[in-house]
């Protein structure tokens, strides 16, 4: 039998043609593949190398340094091999959930971004940095960063994503921090769509750009606006036709307006070309911080303290419309609620409400009474003879230890000449008469407890057995 098979020349050419067409098909298919997949490729970031950022703001530099510090640990957790440049299991999401969520790495990144966010809005005065930050971190702000909601942000950013994507997201986050530092002009979506840089010069139309929300502003917040392609000539801020002074500052052609009282303000801006008038409604801020909202629920008769902003002037605390609170020189309010249900709290100046909030007041709960070193309310005769006193204390899970105080109680020793007597405070001495008696038990009743300015008498007696 022959070791070779003879193929006709015509059939051989046909096979070659089919092979060529298949090759062409593969090439055309590759050309038509959307390039969006590149963003999900684990190792596309080496091809996106950019010059090292020159950090002009220390806070941005600190944030970038914090991200770089955890990068080696993150790569190790994702299974990244720095020699082969590969990830052991690129499509696995378990390493991502374990490292970022369960082990708390997302919290470390979030805290760094939160510190940057606070700096941007409270200390930073560069309008370009503010504008670019809100543009570059718009999605993060919308998904938990703005409201300081770690759980919402980490689930949106890191939960159930492949290790490949996690590394890309981390690299992209570093890149955004660097862009925030090196950008010298406002980044605009138009730049990306048209690929044409925006530069403002004397030939451009003048434009007033609000760098924070217009319409409503809370006490303590700052309204930022910038004049492009024009120079600021005059700025008038008024309330009820009265000019307002010393509540705004200039930075080149950027204005920062921080109102000190509520009301409707009119802002008139005049440049060499542009004249605009707009109104801002300033409303009271909250008294209670959303981050530390322990003041939202209170108990009747208990004094509470709450820190206030340092810039409040000549303010008084009103509860349900009545002057019932006190503001100390250390900018704290001291408030003892006496009315159950919702209480409206308002900090007022001479002419307006500055801060406004409400808390829900609950009735004072009944505490639990314990006797020191007698958890089962029983004691042996021998042990009783060794004691100098029997001490009571009151606790409740909703309050810290020592909040409840025992004012007085009655002690009854049946079957003895001692009888019944009243004790002031929380301790009664064990007399020699009691030690020498053979009574089977001691009855403690009518326990009066005090918390704040509220007293409560407990009617249920406590029986201490003498074994």
- 190 and 50 in a common domain: yes
Do the beta carbons of residue 392 and residue 409 sit within 8 Å?
yes
Question: Which residue, among 148, 263, 254, has the nearest Cα to 211 in the 3D structure?
Answer: 254
Q: Of 362, 377, 394, which residue is a domain's last?
A: 362
- 123 and 95 in a common domain: yes
- Residue owning tokens 């109102």: 259
What pLDDT is stored for residue 44 in this prediction?
Answer: 41
What pLDDT is stored for residue 409 in this prediction?
Answer: 92
By three-state DSSP, how is residue 69 classified?
Answer: helix
* Mean pLDDT of all residues in 372-378: 81
| Close Cβ partners of 355 (under 8 Å, ≥ 6 residues apart) | 219, 284, 285, 286, 287, 308, 312, 345, 346, 347
Q: In the structure encoding, which two tokens stand for residue 358, read together?
A: 């409400």
What pLDDT is stored for residue 438 in this prediction?
Answer: 81
Q: In the structure encoding, which two tokens stand for residue 326, read together?
A: 């006190």
Contacts of 434-438 spanning 24+ positions with Cβ under 8 A? 434/384, 435/384, 435/385, 437/413
- 337 and 406 in a common domain: no
By three-state DSSP, how is residue 30 classified?
Answer: helix
Do the beta carbons of residue 250 and residue 262 sit within 8 Å?
no
Asked whether residue 247 carries a pLDDT value surpassing 80, the answer given is no
- C-alpha span between 180 and 133 (Å, rounded): 6
Do the beta carbons of residue 99 and residue 78 sit within 8 Å?
yes
* Mean pLDDT of all residues in 400-405: 78
What pLDDT is stored for residue 243 in this prediction?
Answer: 77
* Mean pLDDT of all residues in 145-156: 90
- C-alpha span between 134 and 128 (Å, rounded): 10
In a domain, 33, yes or no: no
What pLDDT is stored for residue 454 in this prediction?
Answer: 79
- 188 and 60 in a common domain: yes
What pLDDT is stored for residue 257 in this prediction?
Answer: 82
Residue 207 Cα distances to 168, 195, 265, 367, angstroms? 37, 21, 21, 65
Do the beta carbons of residue 120 and residue 103 sit within 8 Å?
no
- 170 and 59 in a common domain: yes
- C-alpha span between 360 and 295 (Å, rounded): 9
Q: In the structure encoding, which two tokens stand for residue 33, read together?
A: 């593949």
* Mean pLDDT of all residues in 305-313: 72
Do the beta carbons of residue 59 and residue 116 sit within 8 Å?
yes
- 166 and 106 in a common domain: yes
Q: What is the pLDDT of residues 403-414, one digit of tens each?
A: 788 899 998 888
Edge-to-edge strand list for the sheet holding 297-299 = 297-299, 353-362, 341-348, 316-319, 322-323
- 377 and 354 in a common domain: no
Q: In the structure encoding, which two tokens stand for residue 338, read together?
A: 């006496």
- 299 and 405 in a common domain: no
CATH code of the domain covering residue 310: 2.60.40.10
In a domain, 23, yes or no: no
- 186 and 61 in a common domain: yes
Going by pLDDT thresholds of 50, 70 and 90, the confidence category of residue 189 is low
Percent of the chain with pLDDT over 90: 7
In a domain, 7, yes or no: no
Question: Which residue, among 452, 302, 437, 458, has the nearest Cα to 392 in the 3D structure?
Answer: 458
Q: Of 362, 388, 422, which residue is a domain's last?
A: 362
In a domain, 358, yes or no: yes
- 129 and 64 in a common domain: yes
What one-character-per-residue DSSP string does 187-200 give?
Answer: --HHHHHH------
What pLDDT is stored for residue 199 in this prediction?
Answer: 43
Q: Which residue has the higher pLDDT, 328 or 437?
A: 437
- 124 and 231 in a common domain: no
Q: Which residue has the higher pLDDT, 225 or 406?
A: 406
- The CA-based dihedral angle spanning residues 82, 83, 89, 91, taken in that order and rounded to the nearest 10 degrees: 60
What pLDDT is stored for residue 47 in this prediction?
Answer: 39
Helices (H), 324-454: 381-386, 432-436
What pLDDT is stored for residue 252 in this prediction?
Answer: 63
* Mean pLDDT of all residues in 64-93: 86
Other Cβ atoms less than 10 A from the Cβ of 239: the count is 19
Asked whether residue 321 carries a pLDDT value surpassing 80, the answer given is no
- Residue owning tokens 């230890």: 401
What pLDDT is stored for residue 100 in this prediction?
Answer: 92
Angle between helices 127-136 and 105-122 (to 10 degrees): 150
In a domain, 202, yes or no: no
What pLDDT is stored for residue 400 in this prediction?
Answer: 73
What region does 240 belong to: left with phi over 0, alpha with psi -120 to 50, or beta?
left
Q: What are phi and psi of 429, to 5 degrees?
A: -75, 145
Question: Which residue, among 111, 154, 107, 129, has the nearest Cα to 60 in the 3D structure?
Answer: 129
What pLDDT is stored for residue 109 in this prediction?
Answer: 93
Do the beta carbons of residue 354 and residue 221 sit within 8 Å?
no
Helix H or strand E encompassing 51? none
- Residue owning tokens 């703005």: 146
* Mean pLDDT of all residues in 123-145: 87
What pLDDT is stored for residue 323 in this prediction?
Answer: 77
Going by pLDDT thresholds of 50, 70 and 90, the confidence category of residue 116 is very high
Strands 254-257 and 248-251: antiparallel
Going by pLDDT thresholds of 50, 70 and 90, the confidence category of residue 99 is very high
Q: Of 283, 313, 328, which residue is a domain's last?
A: 283
Across the chain, mean pLDDT equals: 77
In a domain, 424, yes or no: yes
What region does 100 belong to: left with phi over 0, alpha with psi -120 to 50, or beta?
alpha
Domain that holds residue 91: 45-194
| Region of poorest pLDDT, from 132-146, 167-181, 289-303, 437-451 | 289-303
* Mean pLDDT of all residues in 112-141: 88
Asked whether residue 192 carries a pLDDT value surpassing 80, the answer given is no
Q: What is the pLDDT of residues 5-64, one digit of tens each?
A: 565 565 566 666 667 676 666 666 555 444 444 444 443 444 344 444 556 678 888 898
* Mean pLDDT of all residues in 242-256: 71
- Residue owning tokens 């600021």: 232
Strands 326-327 and 332-335: antiparallel
Sign of CA dihedral 54, 58, 64, 66: positive
The number of distinct structural domains making up the chain is: 4
Going by pLDDT thresholds of 50, 70 and 90, the confidence category of residue 107 is very high
Other Cβ atoms less than 10 A from the Cβ of 426: the count is 22
Question: Which residue, among 134, 151, 144, has the nearest Cα to 210 in the 3D structure?
Answer: 134
In a domain, 21, yes or no: no
- 214 and 158 in a common domain: no
| Region of poorest pLDDT, from 44-53, 138-147, 309-318, 345-354 | 44-53
In a domain, 36, yes or no: no
What pLDDT is stored for residue 43 in this prediction?
Answer: 39
């Amino acid at each position: 039998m022959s070791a070779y098979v003879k193929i006709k020349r015509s059939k051989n050419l046909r096979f070659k043609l089919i092979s060529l067409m298949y090759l062409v098909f593969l090439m055309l298919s590759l050309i038509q593949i959307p390039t969006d997949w590149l963003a999900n490729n684990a190792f596309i970031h080496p091809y996106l190398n950019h010059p090292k950022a020159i950090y002009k703001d220390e806070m941005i530099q600190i944030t970038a340094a914090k991200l770089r510090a955890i990068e080696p640990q993150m790569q190790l957790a994702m299974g990244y091999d720095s020699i082969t440049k590969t990830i052991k299991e690129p499509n696995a999401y378990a390493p991502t959930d374990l490292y970022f969520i369960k082990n708390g790495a997302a919290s470390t990144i979030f805290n760094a971004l939160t510190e940057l966010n606070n700096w941007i809005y409270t200390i930073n005065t560069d309008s370009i940095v503010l504008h670019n930050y809100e543009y570059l971190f718009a999605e993060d702000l919308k998904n938990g960063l703005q409201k300081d909601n770690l759980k919402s942000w980490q689930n949106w950013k890191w939960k159930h994503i492949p290790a490949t994507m996690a590394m890309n997201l981390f690299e992209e986050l570093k890149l955004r921090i660097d862009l925030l530092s090196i950008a010298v002009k406002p980044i605009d979506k138009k730049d990306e769509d048209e690929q044409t840089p925006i530069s403002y010069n004397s030939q451009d139309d003048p434009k007033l750009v609000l760098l924070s929300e217009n319409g409503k502003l809370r006490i303590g917040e700052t309204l930022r606006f910038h004049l492009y392609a024009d120079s600021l000539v005059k700025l008038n801020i008024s309330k009820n036709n009265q000019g307002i002074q010393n509540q705004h500052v200039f930075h080149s052609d950027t204005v920062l307006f921080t109102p000190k009282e509520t009301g409707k303000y009119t802002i008139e801006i005049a440049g060499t070309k542009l004249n605009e008038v707009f109104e801002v409604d300033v409303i009271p801020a909250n008294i209670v911080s959303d981050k530390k909202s322990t003041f939202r629920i209170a108990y009747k008769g208990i004094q509470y303290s709450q820190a206030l902003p340092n810039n409040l002037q000549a303010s008084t605390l009103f509860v349900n419309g009545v002057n019932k609170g006190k503001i100390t020189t250390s900018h704290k309010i001291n408030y003892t609620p006496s009315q159950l249900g919702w209480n409206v709290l308002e900090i007022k100046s001479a002419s307006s409400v500055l801060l406004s909030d409400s808390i829900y007041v609950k009735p004072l709960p009944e505490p639990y009474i314990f006797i020191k070193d007698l958890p089962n309310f029983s004691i042996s005769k021998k042990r009783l003879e060794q004691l100098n006193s029997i001490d009571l204390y009151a606790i409740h899970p909703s309050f810290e230890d020592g909040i409840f105080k025992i004012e007085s109680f009655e002690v009854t020793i049946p079957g003895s000449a001692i009888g019944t007597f009243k004790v002031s405070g929380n301790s009664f001495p064990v007399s020699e008469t009691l030690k020498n008696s053979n009574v089977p038990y001691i009855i403690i009743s009518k326990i009066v407890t005090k918390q704040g300015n509220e007293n409560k008498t407990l009617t249920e007696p406590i029986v201490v057995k003498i074994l």
